[in-house]
Amino acid sequence: MDAAAAVPVSTPARHGPRRIVCLVEEPTEVLYALGEQERIVGISGFTVRPPRARREKPKVSAFTSAKIDAILALKPDFAIGFSDIQADIAAELVRRGVEVWIANHRSVGEILDYVRRLGALVGCAAKAEAYAGELQRGIDRIAGQAALLPRRPRVYFEEWDEPRISGIRWVAELVRIAGGDDIFPELAAEPLAKQRILADDDEIIRRAPDIVFGSWCGKKFQPARVAARPGWQNVPAVRDGELHEIKSPIILQPGPAALTDGLRALHTHIARWARTTPDS
């Protein structure tokens, strides 16, 4: 017998964790985009992207809570979460022997780097680099279109209504990329929602936003309620009917959705305003 024929042909080794629980949506979206979805054994109940993930994977967590026993029953070798809000979940999983990565990316650049790091963790760094490059090119296209707009609106992005919470850093950056100027850039730099609470409406009114975007963390945005707020009647966005919802799954999760559908939604409203609103 040919000696060479006797040597078994080996399949390429699969690197990195093989049974991953995604405690938030963004690692699920990235792993599906990279073709590594078979590694996922559990997802967040808030996951909507990609839609097939909800059909294919068991839902084992919310954002601030998780079914620890259900997660352990899946025998994960890795769990991925986001921010200090999931610190207690992470701590419990670590105590129960699960390796956990809590990412804390807060800017557009950090989201792109998150894609690269996650790809490297599962042994497909080249695919992740290519995907990050694709996302960057999409951002650059929108930025190029925004640069041609005749004017830039002042934008107030409201992440929650009671109390008023202004937009987080990556949202403020996406507003700028889309062609607008966030009216609370100093608050956008604060990583925690409690640090972006507005004491009252006076400063919002004084800064006179031309557009108000609402994304109330999964609760339906109600423009009529915003317009009826005391003292808001002369705010340009209220006067001109520029009160728009951006669905939270496409803007408030620091993953590909925000850099694609979220950014496009912002730009669509901003570009229309810039082209149709006369100079004041």
Mean pLDDT, range 248-259, rounded to an integer:
96
Instruction: Enumerate residues 6+ apart whose C-beta is below 8 A from 271.
Output: 145, 146, 149, 179
Q: Give the model's confidence band at 175: pLDDT under 50 very low, under 70 low, under 90 confident, else very high.
A: very high
pLDDT over 70 percentage in the chain: 94
- For 207-233, how does the pLDDT look when each residue is reduced to its tens digit (9 = 90+)? 999 999 999 987 899 999 999 999 999
The answer to whether the CB of 236 falls within 8 A of the CB of 242 is yes
Mean pLDDT, range 154-183, rounded to an integer:
97
Q: Can you tell me the distance from the alpha carbon of 271 to that of 179, in angstroms, rounded to the nearest whole number?
A: 7
Residue 192 is predicted with a pLDDT of: 85
- For 115-146, how does the pLDDT look when each residue is reduced to its tens digit (9 = 90+)? 999 999 999 999 999 999 999 999 999 999 99
- For 56-83, how does the pLDDT look when each residue is reduced to its tens digit (9 = 90+)? 999 999 989 999 999 999 999 999 999 9
What is the chain's mean pLDDT, rounded? 93
Tokens of 42: 């559990």
The answer to whether the CB of 180 falls within 8 A of the CB of 153 is yes
**Residues in the chain, how many?**
280
Residue 14 is predicted with a pLDDT of: 67
Instruction: Enumerate residues 6+ apart whose C-beta is below 8 A from 194.
Output: none
Rounded to 5°, angle at Cα 205 from 200 and 206: 105
- Secondary structure of residue 42 in the 3-state scheme: strand
* pLDDT over 80 (residue 280): no
Q: Give the model's confidence band at 2: pLDDT under 50 very low, under 70 low, under 90 confident, else very high.
A: very low
Q: Can you tell me the distance from the alpha carbon of 42 to that of 28, in angstroms, rounded to the nearest whole number?
A: 9
* CA trace torsion 64, 225, 261, 190 (10° rounding): -50
